[in-house]
């Protein structure tokens, strides 16, 4: 038998390099994995999911109900070992995890609705939330799913609360909480329509709606350094016959200071969908993918590119469209990264989406001496939380901002799992009282007696319209502002505690200053603007409007009631958030 001494030194160096590369993947500061309902630990792709018993210290629940199903009843998949057991929550229950390093954390929830004992998990209806974000609202599913969220944790603990709806129950098959690398998602992106710089991503909770490997196969979490899963693009292609798949994973390079393997693995950058234009130099068509999304939300779109197609520099110029809006024009990937087969990604933020499909298209640019072609290697679509911190369908989309009125007037957060079940979701609870004509019953006690009934009624009607299920039924930003100004006029028609003094003059001071956008600000443009009650001011510089409101508030704060000031504060709040 050959002894260790007989091996040349280069063999040991080679082995050491292999070991180093194997364990060079991201080492998260926080990592919790639980196989809910399981009596034993479960290993998936090197990750150990703790048994339910070993993870019991993280959970606060009134009772322990664990269920399991037959081993052969779950179809084989990457996460099928987690789907054989589940924990039932008959009442509100909360997982609490200590956070060692503040910042973004992934929350992955694993669901598979099997039937066992007295429970049919497909009938469960429930909500899931953190302290700051609503993740799921009245969730129900008849098939297996993995829900992945990215939330910014700023405190020392992360709480995840499960709240059954009505007389139903909640359940969970598996749970992960994992730190996200600091550089994976920055604060900025390119905003679409028009193309401008966007800042503020760090304040947003995100939900992964799609993570897609263009032109390639499924990439399981075992083959991703951050344990992400990527699905093939075939089910999203509008016209598959317009695409040719390309694979060249060995050619992929990660340039210094550019994309890394944490952004996407080689199995994503090393495959691509390209235009099927090889046999026609006059080809002029777009390749389009359509992705299901939730209407009423903005989306962060990350596009991954790596030119594994070209054999010479500057051979491909192409255009990229998102929702028929130009995102990249005459894009020259070679010039962007300084070489072929070099990984690159870019981020875009959409406006609020008004339908349930999001389209991404690539097509040839009209550039002389270039052959028609376009490529795309990977796509990630992340739903962005709205102003209430909600990612759930029943939350108010960022375009309407409706339920912020409830936050101001009711002095409580939108989602509060510590309250009775019917009060957890503030928007739903408030609408019950609004429909009864009893909104005054739930406003901040410090405001009772300060807000006039007619003003509050109009305020509630405005908020109710903002909570309409479909974007087309919600008022525009301009309409909301005009309604709230009218609410203020109703409030200040007679000053509280002084019924003999008419405050028409006070409103007279407010209204002209709101509409006089050319005075009192630091904007030197001379373009005049005058609103009528039917105008939508969405195209106007909102900073002008609200800088005037801030100024006006300071000038009239001694002349209006507490309730009136609170309404002005609400108008100013629109701008700040």
Please tell me the least confidently modeled range out of 82-86, 189-193, 298-302, 534-538.
534-538
Give the list of residues 6+ apart from residue 326 with CB closer than 8 angstroms, or none.
195, 319, 320
Q: How many CA atoms lie within 13 A of 537 on its CB side?
A: 21
**pLDDT, tens digit, 9 for 90 and up, residues 379-391:** 999 999 998 899 9
Mean pLDDT, the chain, rounded, equals: 80
Q: Which residue has the higher pLDDT, 367 or 271?
A: 271
Residue 203 CA to residue 193 CA, distance in Å, equals 21
CATH of domain 188-384: 2.60.120.430
Q: Are 101 and 29 in contact (CB under 8 A)?
A: yes
Q: Is the pLDDT of residue 353 over 90?
A: yes
Q: Is the pLDDT of residue 208 over 90?
A: yes
Q: Is the pLDDT of residue 52 over 80?
A: yes
Q: Does residue 416 have a cis peptide bond before it, meaning omega lies within 30 degrees of 0?
A: no
Q: How many CA atoms lie within 13 A of 352 on its CB side?
A: 20
Residue 208 CA to residue 228 CA, distance in Å, equals 10
523-540 mean pLDDT: 39
pLDDT above 70 covers what percent of the chain? Answer: 72
Q: Is the pLDDT of residue 92 over 70?
A: yes
Q: Is the pLDDT of residue 9 over 50?
A: no
- In 3D space, the residue among 383, 359, 379, 432 whose CA is nearest the CA of residue 136 turns out to be 383
Angle at 295 between CA 292 and CA 298, to 5 degrees: 95
Helix (H/G/I), strand (E/B), else coil: 381: strand
| DSSP character string of 129-188 | E-SS-EEEEEE--SS-EEEEEEEEE-SSEEEEEEEE-TT--EEESEEEEEEPPTTTS-SE
Domain 31-179 and domain 404-576 have a common topology: no
**Strand pairing class (47-51; 31-35):** parallel
Helix (H/G/I), strand (E/B), else coil: 110: strand
Is the C-alpha dihedral spanning 324, 325, 327, 332 positive or negative? positive
CATH class of the domain whose range is 31-179: mainly beta
Residue 375 CA to residue 153 CA, distance in Å, equals 36
Q: What is the residue extent of each domain of the chain?
A: 31-179, 188-384, 404-576
Q: Is the pLDDT of residue 430 over 70?
A: yes
CATH of domain 404-576: 1.10.510
Phi and psi, residue 361, nearest 5°: -130, 150
Q: Is the pLDDT of residue 543 over 80?
A: no
Q: Which residue has the higher pLDDT, 154 or 408?
A: 154
Q: How many CA atoms lie within 13 A of 511 on its CB side?
A: 19
**Residue 477 confidence class, pLDDT cut points 50, 70, 90:** low
**Residue 71 confidence class, pLDDT cut points 50, 70, 90:** low
The packing angle between helices 562-576 and 477-491, to 10°, is 160
Q: Which of 1-10, 267-276, 412-421, 562-571 has the highest mean pLDDT?
A: 267-276
Q: Which residue has the higher pLDDT, 401 or 309?
A: 309
The pLDDT value given to residue 310: 94
pTM of structure: 0.68
């Amino acid at each position: 038998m050959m002894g260790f001494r007989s091996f040349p030194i280069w063999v040991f160096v080679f082995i050491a390099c292999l070991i180093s590369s194997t364990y060079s993947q991201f080492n998260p500061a926080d990592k919790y994995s639980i196989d809910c309902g399981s009596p034993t630990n479960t290993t998936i792709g090197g990750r150990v999911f703790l048994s339910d018993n070993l993870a019991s210290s993280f959970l606060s629940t009134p009772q322990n109900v664990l269920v399991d199903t037959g081993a052969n009843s779950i179809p084989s998949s990457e996460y099928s070992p987690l789907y054989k057991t589940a924990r039932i929550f008959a009442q509100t229950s909360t997982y609490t995890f200590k956070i060692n390093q503040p910042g973004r954390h992934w929350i992955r929830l694993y669901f598979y609705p099997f039937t066992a004992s007295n429970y049919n998990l497909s009938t469960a209806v429930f909500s899931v939330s953190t302290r700051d974000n609503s993740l799921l609202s009245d969730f129900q599913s008849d098939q297996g799913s993995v829900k992945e969220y990215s939330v910014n944790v700023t405190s020392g603990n992360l709480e995840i609360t499960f709240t059954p709806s009505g007389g139903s129950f909640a359940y969970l098959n598996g749970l992960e909480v994992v730190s996200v690398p600091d550089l994976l998602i920055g604060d900025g992106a390119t905003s679409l329509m028009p193309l401008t710089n966007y800042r503020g991503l760090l304040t947003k909770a995100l939900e992964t709606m799609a993570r897609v490997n263009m032109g390639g196969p499924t990439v399981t979490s075992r083959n991703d350094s951050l344990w992400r899963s990527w699905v093939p693009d075939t089910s999203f292609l509008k016209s598959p016959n317009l695409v040719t798949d390309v694979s060249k994973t060995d050619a992929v390079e990660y340039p210094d200071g550019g994309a890394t393997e944490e952004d996407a693995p080689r199995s994503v950058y090393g495959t691509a969908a390209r235009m099927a234009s090889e046999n026609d130099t006059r080809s002029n068509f777009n390749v389009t993918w359509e992705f299901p999304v939730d209407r009423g939300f903005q989306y962060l779109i990350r596009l991954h590119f790596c030119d594994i197609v070209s054999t010479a520099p500057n051979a491909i110029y192409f255009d990229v469209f998102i929702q028929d809006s130009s995102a990249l024009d005459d894009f020259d990937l070679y010039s962007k990264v300084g070489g072929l087969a070099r990984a690159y990604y870019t981020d875009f933020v959409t406006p609020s989406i008004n339908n349930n499909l999001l389209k991404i298209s690539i097509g040839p640019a009209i550039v002389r001496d270039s052959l028609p072609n376009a490529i795309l290697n990977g796509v990630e679509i992340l739903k962005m939380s709205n102003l209430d911190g909600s990612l759930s369908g029943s939350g108010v989309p960022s375009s309407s901002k409706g339920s912020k009125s409830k936050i101001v007037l009711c002095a409580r957060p939108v989602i509060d799992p510590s309250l009775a079940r019917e009060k957890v979701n503030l928007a739903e609870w408030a609408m019950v009282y609004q429909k009864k004509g009893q909104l005054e019953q739930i406003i901040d006690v410090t405001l009772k007696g300060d807000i006039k009934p007619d003003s509050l009624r109009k305020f509630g009607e405005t908020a109710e319209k903002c909570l309409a299920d479909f974007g087309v039924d919600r008022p525009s930003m301009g309409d909301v502002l005009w309604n709230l100004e009218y609410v203020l006029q109703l409030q200040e028609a007679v000053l509280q505690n002084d019924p003999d003094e008419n405050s028409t003059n006070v409103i007279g001071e407010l209204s002209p200053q709101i509409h006089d956008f050319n005075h009192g600000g630091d904007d030197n443009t001379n373009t005049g603007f005058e609103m009528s009650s039917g105008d939508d001011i969405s195209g106007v510089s909102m900073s002008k409007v609200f800088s005037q409101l801030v100024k006006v508030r300071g000038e009239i704060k001694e002349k209006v009631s507490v309730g009136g000031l609170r309404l002005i504060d609400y108008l100013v709040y629109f701008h700040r958030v």
